[in-house]
Amino acid sequence: MRIKDHLNKITWSFSDKAVMIAFGLFLFVQLKFISPEQYAFYLLLIVLNNWIFVIADGFALQGVIQFGGRSSEKGKVNLMALLTLLGISLGAALFFFFSRNIIADFFSEPAYATALFYLPLTVIVTIPKNFIIKTLYRDFKYSKIFWINLSYFSSQAVLSLYYIIETGGLSAEKMINVFIAGGLSSALVSIILVAGSLRFSLNGGVKFKEFLGFGSIISVQYFFQSIAKNLDIYVVEYFFGLGVVGVYGAAKQMFRSFEEASYAAHGLVYPAAVKLIAGDNRSAGLVSLLSKSISAMMIMFIFIAIVLNMGLTEFVLNVFGIEKFYSAVGHFNILVIGGLFLPFLLINPVLNAMKKYKSVLRIVIISSLLSLCTLVLISYLGQVEYIAVGMLSYYLILGILSFVVIRKEIGFGFKELVHGFWDAANFIKSKLIKQK
């Protein structure tokens, strides 16, 4: 795999993530005009909404890439994926909607009942964007993904600014309206971009049982991944309350730029790995793919981590005057350390493409359970300033175990990783020289 051969795809993919990073910076504007408690109330809903789609993505949407590569299968695979997505996401939303009072009583927090009232609506407006984007990843249509996400985040920014200018601040209810506006806008743009090209059909060789069998394995992986990445705020709320959730949630949102860059790379690596496995000399191709992608991503993350730990985060918070969220800096700095292990998570989509589902599942279960135990122990001891160590431990353990497994499977080791570093560094150097 030569980076320059995929430069157009990489450029659109990272342009897409640049939009997300820009909106991540806009988060500082939102935080200035909302209290930690109101922001936590908003997160109780949005995190659960996102968690539902994490599970649905594994169960319904990963199969779009795995089984929909051949043109003759796309129509049927699209139909199976959409029906499965609707069933899982709407079923889960209705379950939590009708259980909202029970959940509120369990956590002794009335905010759960109010937040979960909106869940069916937020799920409905999210479905079109998530489904269509997955089909575009399969077809390598990264430019269209860029425009969908641009509409999603820009509409949220515009409505946020409207509320700030007209009412002087933001509340949980206004933030929920902002999220819904983004969902509606991106749904409209998504449908326009694929109108006439997205096919549905009953004809095809892929069986629904086979499709669901693959999805069930991936969804279990995603479920355990979500324990550390999505459901941790509910543990934090149980031990420390809404105020701490708001601050910790703000730190996680700031860290999202790292995760979005990782997701962008996942979107490139998984389809490429599926294609390489179908061809000749797959081991050499996969080693090259991983060495280039991991090293390039790690160089970028190391640079960003150094800049942030030189005081950039504190500087930005001071510029925006967000003293009420200043304690989020400590959580964020811990998460940044964990972010240095994110590049190794690119190994997992390759293992999935190789159909090593059980290996990935074991890795994810071990990492998630150890991470959960770490978070619960820290919370039980009342060490609120270290709650982000739970998520750091997840990335650390998952990265190490993934590297051990892939080394055994295809011989990808430290030598190949160092070689990838040199290639990535030389590529960046050549681009900088050309610009001069």
Per-residue H/E/C for 32-97: HCCCHHHHHHHHHHHHHHHHHHHHHHHHHHHHHHHHCCCHHHHHHHHHHHHHHHHHHHHHHHHHHH
262 with 274, same domain: the answer is yes
Please give the helix or strand (H or E) that residue 388 lies within, else none.
none
Instruction: Give the relative orientation of helices 36-56 and 119-138 as an angle to the nearest 10 degrees.
Output: 50
Q: Do 339 and 407 reside in the same domain of the chain?
A: yes
Whole-angstrom distance, CA of residue 313 vs CA of residue 295: 25
Helix ranges restricted to H, 139-171? 142-167
Residues 155 and 256 in one domain: no
What mean pLDDT is reported for the chain?
A: 85
* Boundary-marking domain end, from 230, 250, 278: 230
> Which of 230, 246, 262 lies at the terminal end of a domain, its last residue?
230
- The verdict on 260 and 350 lying in the same domain is yes
pLDDT beyond 80 at 404: yes
Whether residues 413 and 312 fall in one domain? yes
Q: Let me know whether 183 and 318 are in one domain.
A: no
* Same domain membership, residue 154 and residue 61: yes
- Burial (CB count within 10 angstroms: exposed 0-12, middle 13-18, buried 19+), residue 176: buried
pLDDT, tens digit, for every residue of 30-89? 989 999 999 999 998 999 999 999 888 888 877 887 776 677 788 898 899 999 999 999
Q: Could you tell me how far CA 71 lies from the centroid of its own chain?
A: 28
Q: How many CA atoms lie within 13 A of 233 on its CB side?
A: 27
**Same-domain pairing of 369 and 424:** yes
Same domain? For 176 and 237 the reply is: no
Give the domain range for residue 379. Answer: 1-24+232-436
Neighbours of 201 (CB within 10 A): 13
List, for residues 70-83, the tens digit of each pLDDT value: 777 888 988 999 99
What is the tally of structural domains in the chain? 2
Could you please report the per-residue DSSP string of 287-349? Answer: HHHHHHHHHHHHHHHHHHHHHIIIIIHHHHHHHHT-GGGTTHHHHHHHHHHHHTTGGGGGHHH
Span 120-133, average pLDDT: 94
Q: Which of 214, 230, 246 is the last residue of a domain?
A: 230
> 282 with 408, same domain?
yes
Q: What is the pLDDT of residues 199-238, one digit of tens each?
A: 888 888 788 888 888 888 778 888 888 888 888 999 999 9
Are 10 and 268 spatial neighbours (Cβ–Cβ below 8 Å)? yes
Q: Which amino acid is at 210?
A: E
How far apart CA 219 and CA 361 sit, in angstroms, is 10
Token pair for residue 343?
């590049």
> Could you tell me the pLDDT band of residue 177, with boundaries at 50, 70 and 90?
very high
